[in-house]
Amino acid sequence: MNKEVLKDFLKANVFKELDNIKTDQEKELAQPAVQKSSSSSIPLIDLVSIQDINLGETSVFEALKHRKTRRVFSNQPLSLEELSFLLWSVQGVKKIVNKGYATLRTVPSAGARHSFETYIAVSKVEGLEKGIYRYLPLEHKLSFLFSVEDLQGKLDEAVFNQRFVGKSAVTFIWTTIPYRMEWRYDIASPKLIALDAGHVCENLYLSAECINAGVCAVAAYDQEKIDELINVDGNEEFAIYLAAVGKAE
């Protein structure tokens, strides 16, 4: 693999080329949905509304001061209230603008494109059975997708036996639907999607400090195995970032 090509991915030169490209938005093609659809046959699980969450107060200064990566978790489960807060923190919708044209969320995104979907592999959350779920930010609800036999083992295998992942209370698995970004930014999309992923995960780190939980972001994983675990096609939608979360010891 050409290292110079990879370096170019990190640079902003692509925006000069973008001036000469007519994007799908400029072609007036239909924009992609801001949220992946959910089957009407799958029951939705109510999360605690953000107005009703009462987890005490932690200043931004304190969250930043104490933030660190943690790979050792207690066996204590997360409460549904805590999980609701974390999900809202990483992708919560604060406002829908222009009749669904875009969403303003708790995290920034280039052009408010928000290309991510948030899946969670639940092992220890009060009131939830083990399995794979997807967060629906427009409704602030969870969609239970399916249970997984030996979930811990499959997680460990998919992250090259980084054992702390399988021992976490919940593993966040963010996917990207690239066309949401490509519709507006075309060839600049890969850089923008990667930057957006960092915004999302840092929100998780800081929010976890408010509930005495630990987070470890994971970029080293088996792409095919993670995509298979959450049942995405690996092309139009694929995993881009993971984070293990559990109560701190």
Domain ranges in the chain are 3-36+43-247
Would you give per-residue pLDDT tens digits along the chain (249 residues)? 788 888 988 899 999 999 999 999 999 999 999 999 998 888 899 999 999 999 999 999 999 999 999 999 999 999 999 999 999 999 999 999 988 889 999 999 999 999 999 999 999 999 999 999 999 999 999 999 999 999 999 999 999 999 999 999 999 999 999 999 999 999 999 999 999 999 999 999 999 999 999 999 999 999 999 999 999 999 999 999 999 999 998
Element containing residue 64 per DSSP (H, E): helix 60-66
CB-CB contact of 241 with 118 (8 Å): no
Q: Does the 3-36+43-247 domain belong in CATH 3.40.109.10?
A: yes
Q: Is the pTM of this model over 0.85?
A: yes
User: What is the token pair recorded at 60?
Assistant: 């931004």
3-state secondary structure of 12: coil
Mention every residue, 6+ apart, whose C-beta is less than 8 A from residue 143: 38, 42, 44, 45, 133, 134, 135, 136
Rounded to the nearest angstrom, the gap between the alpha carbon of residue 94 and the centroid of all alpha carbons in its chain is 17
- Listed residue (151, 168, 170, 172) closest to 219, CA to CA: 172
Q: Are 145 and 173 in contact (CB under 8 A)?
A: no
Identify whether the C-beta of residue 176 lies closer than 8 Å to the C-beta of residue 240: yes
